[in-house]
Chain A
């Protein structure tokens, strides 16, 4: 090799995915996978949003007969399942995938091929779920699918089988992703980025990844029991043979409440990243925010029973879970006050991104307060299964997931696309979404208190519910238009926006030290970190006097110790490979076979998957690239 070849070109040559069809299917680049996650999750948001609008049209007037009751059940169930499982968590995985290696100065995730597998199985499990539409028999029992309604006797057909198997499929994907994030954050941080200097987004992603590893098996077990009972005549939930329908609720909510934090904590982590940047100062109380994040995840395991106060239980156990549920709001309050103090003592710049962050603060505080109300047992008995709860969960999920996600889009898309968003369109979109959301959902508190039950396909006139429902429908469309304006903004600005440059917001974390969009390898030198805010504190990109951290002899990155980030080893990274996609196809074959009880076909799928695994893991002798 001639000395004239530039190091950057050499690194590009090493890390670039070939721009071919094969390259497209076999890429392991975290940036490409992150982009696909973001696009796919947004597609699921739009599908779930259309379902929501159909629900609102049906509920606009009393005694409406726009769709049949069965169709309504299927649509509201698919709305919940799509939003909670295939939009809310995956969109955060998309940001984490794209940003975390850049934030920690690594060149990829710890397991790049597993990362590709995580994306493909997320995509195909969603396609599999929507495959139920081919039988005109989508899941119809809500996203929580309580037994005994979901057993074969009351829910014949394939709908609930698609639900159970698609969720098992998705838990494989999500767990693999969580393990990947944990190992990446603990092993690949740049030298000097000790655990006390990590960006707060990493704290929230770490916390929820551990929550995923420990809580998702509960969902898997619940769904396995359900499938065995529905299709293989075994008994778990049938009281006539000694079973208990409440077992489903215990298992489901043991998973379900940590999941609420899975879709919420990374969003607060992103807020903790961008609020300080737009307030032009470091975040107030960094250690408290970090500890509050971890404690939220931990205590989140002790509150699941508050979904079941109305099922009849001992007072002592209810009191415990009520107290735990109120405790958890303390940790959220710590974060909220940290953000408020940051804005208060800073010099806030109100960009579109910051507006979304402020909108998040307002809606999240309302969603938190009405959450405390629902943790009080006597009030919970009154408002259980009413629109009050619908209002609460939408304040939490839209307020604490959708608004932060849009704030993050306006903040990080310039890094991803290399072009700035249109600020004016962003602000228009924000106000449409903010007003649309609040006017649509706030009256539902009142609807719940005056008695309107949730999950009903229509309601009779004369209860005083018509006005607020019509209002909700109209402003749900305003919210949808607001989201549409932003999506339009993203698409147009990605082509025509002003060139962003490396660091348009003058932010403090390492991802802003790469090109926009980043080169395939990230940065030429693995960075060295001395403070919490490397780009604000006299950061020297080329602090590498002997060029020891260029690592251009192959796909290499630096492995460091988990606490202090001392350099420990050079980590070899894999090349592009088609095996993650093949493994996902093998798993898809297994799940399709199980829907139809074709055990021989499932066995073929299993053997195929194992062979793919063997090829995937087969070691290759290490050669330096030419």
Chain B
């Protein structure tokens, strides 16, 4: 090592390293890229759906899926995202208690969505089996992939709920909240596309 290095004073005798704060943006960047690859996953699923429908499954679709569960489920998820966003704004203003309450509400709404999904599946399975034909297979694969992602989203929200609080300068409390919320909004957006492509379009255009 060079001589100059030895001239550096021990840290107690130096100025603070910099006036810079601690970095908290890498996690958010990682979350955006994770969502990008997840979005690509769903784009591939939708591509497969269209590819299979155009290439001959049209005949195997007896009737379009009913909307009386899918649309309310969409409304529920949109409300949950709004509630969560409100909570994030509270946390950013330092109001962590109210943020936690809204986080709990989001989780409860998400669980209610899963309950509706269960009833939707129970009704749908009477007319369409995932093993019956290609349409059934691809329909249940896409919707259950979404359900799995929603469960993951709930686990992430639950984790953000139980995280301890430190000094904000050391560990900004809104950051994990923000990252968890990003993923929840993503799962929400995916459901919008599922409702549009798998539920609404067949009712309007017959595919």
List chain A residues, Cβ under 8 A from B137: 228-229, 234-236
Residues of B within 8 A of A550 (CB): 8, 14, 17
Across the interface, do A5 and B10 meet the contact criterion of CB distance under 8 Å?
yes
Chain A residue numbers with a CB within 8 Å of B20 are 567-570
When chains A and B are docked, how far (Å) is the Cα of A482 from the Cα of B40?
Answer: 42
Nearest-neighbour CB distance to chain A for B169, whole angstroms, equals: 10
A541, A556, A621: the one within 8 Å of B166 (CB): A621
B23–A217 CB distance below 8 A: no
- Asked, given contacts A553-B11, A559-B25, A567-B18, whether A241 binds B33 with beta carbons under 8 Å apart, the answer is no
Contact sample, A vs B, 9 pairs, CB 8 Å cutoff? A213-B37, A220-B44, A221-B44, A233-B131, A241-B134, A242-B59, A254-B44, A553-B17, A569-B25
- Asked if B17 and A187 make an inter-chain contact with CB atoms under 8 angstroms apart, the answer reads no
Q: Which of A243-251, A349-357, A528-536 contacts B (4 or more CB under 8 A)?
A: A243-251
Give chain B residues whose Cβ lies under 8 Å from the Cβ of A251: 44, 47-48
Chain A, 162-211, CB within 8 A of any chain B CB = 175, 178-180, 182-183, 186-187
Known contacts: A546-B14, A552-B11, A553-B11. The answer to whether A541 contacts B2 by CB under 8 A is yes
A512 to chain B, nearest CB (A): 15
* A601 on the B face (CB < 8 A): no
User: Which residues of the partner chain A approach B136 to less than 8 Å between Cβ atoms?
Assistant: 235
Q: Is A571 an interface residue (CB 8 A)?
A: yes
Which of A214, A217, A243, A549 is in CB contact (< 8 Å) with B134?
A243
Task: Compute how far the CA of A553 lies from the CA of B36 in the bound complex, rounded to whole angstroms.
Answer: 35
> B-contacting residues of A (Cβ < 8 Å)?
1-3, 5-8, 10, 110-111, 114, 175, 178-180, 182-183, 186-187, 213-218, 220-221, 224-225, 228-229, 233-236, 238-239, 241-244, 246-247, 250-251, 254, 515, 524, 541-542, 546-553, 556, 559, 567-572, 610, 614, 617-619, 621-622
- Which of A6, A186, A217, A233 meets B6, CB within 8 Å? A6
Contact between B14 and A247, CB atoms less than 8 A apart: no
A221-B45, A568-B25 known, 18 other contacts, Cβ within 8 Å = A1-B10, A1-B12, A182-B29, A213-B33, A214-B36, A220-B44, A221-B44, A225-B48, A247-B55, A251-B47, A251-B48, A254-B44, A547-B9, A549-B18, A550-B8, A569-B25, A610-B155, A619-B163
Give the residue of A234, A242, A244 whose beta carbon is less than 8 angstroms from that of B141. A234
Contact A218 B44 (CB under 8 A): yes
Min CB distance B96 to A, Å, is 15
Distance, CA A241 to CA B135, complexed state (A): 9
Kindly state whether residue B118 has any CB partner on chain A within 8 Å. Answer: no
CA distance A524 to B51 in the complex (A): 56
Chain A min CB distance to B44 (Å): 4
Q: Decide if B37 touches A217 in the complex (CB within 8 Å).
A: yes
Contact with A187, one of B29, B131, B133, B141 (Cβ below 8 angstroms):
B29
Enumerate chain B residues within 8 angstroms of A567, measured Cβ to Cβ.
18, 20
Measured as residues with beta carbon below 8 angstroms from the partner, the interface class of chain B is: 35 or more
For A556, list chain B residues within 8 Å (CB): 17
- State whether the Cβ of B41 lies closer than 8 Å to any Cβ in chain A: yes
Query: What are the residues of chain A within 8 A of B41 when measuring CB–CB?
Result: 217, 220-221
* Chain A min CB distance to B152 (Å): 9
* Nearest B residue to A553, CB-CB: B11
State whether A7 touches B25 (Cβ < 8 A). no
A217 in contact with B131 given A183-B33, A570-B20, A570-B22 (CB within 8 Å): no
**CB of B15 within 8 Å of the partner chain:** yes
The answer to whether B12 touches A569, judged by C-beta atoms less than 8 angstroms apart, is no
Q: Is the CB of A617 within 8 A of B159?
A: yes
Q: Roughly how many angstroms separate A9 CA and B8 CA in the complex, as a whole number? A: 12
- Measured between beta carbons, the chain B residues less than 8 angstroms from A10 are 10
Contacts of B2 on A, CB cut-off 8 Å? 541-542
Which residues from B are CB-within-8-Å of A8?
1, 5
- In the bound assembly, the distance between CA atoms of A486 and B9 in angstroms comes to 46
| Contact present for A187 and B23 (CB under 8 Å) | yes
- Across the interface, which residues of A come within 8 angstroms of B43, CB to CB? 217
Given contacts A6-B6, A221-B41, A548-B15, contact A244 B55 (CB under 8 A): yes
Whether A7 pairs with B5 at a CB distance below 8 angstroms is: yes
Whether A241 and B51, one on each chain, are in contact in the complex, defined by CB atoms closer than 8 angstroms, is no
Inter-chain contacts of A552 with B (CB < 8 A): 11
Q: Which residues of B contact A234 (CB under 8 A)?
A: 130-131, 137, 141
In the bound complex, residues from chain B placing their C-beta under 8 Å from that of A183 are 26, 29-30, 33
Residues of chain B within 8 A (CB-CB) of A241 are 60, 132-134
Q: How far is the CB of A16 from chain B (nearest CB, A)?
A: 15
B57 at interface by CB-CB < 8 Å: yes
Shortest distance in angstroms between A66's beta carbon and chain B's nearest beta carbon? 41
Chain B nearest CB, measured from A218 CB (Å): 5
CB-nearest residue of chain B to A541: B2
Assess the B18–A570 pair: CB atoms within 8 A.
yes
Check if A569 sits within 8 Å of B23, measured CB to CB: yes
The residue on B at minimum CB distance from A556 is: B17
Residue B34 at the A interface, CB < 8 A?
yes
B78 in contact (CB, < 8 A): no
Residues in chain A near residue B171, CB distance under 8 A = 619, 622
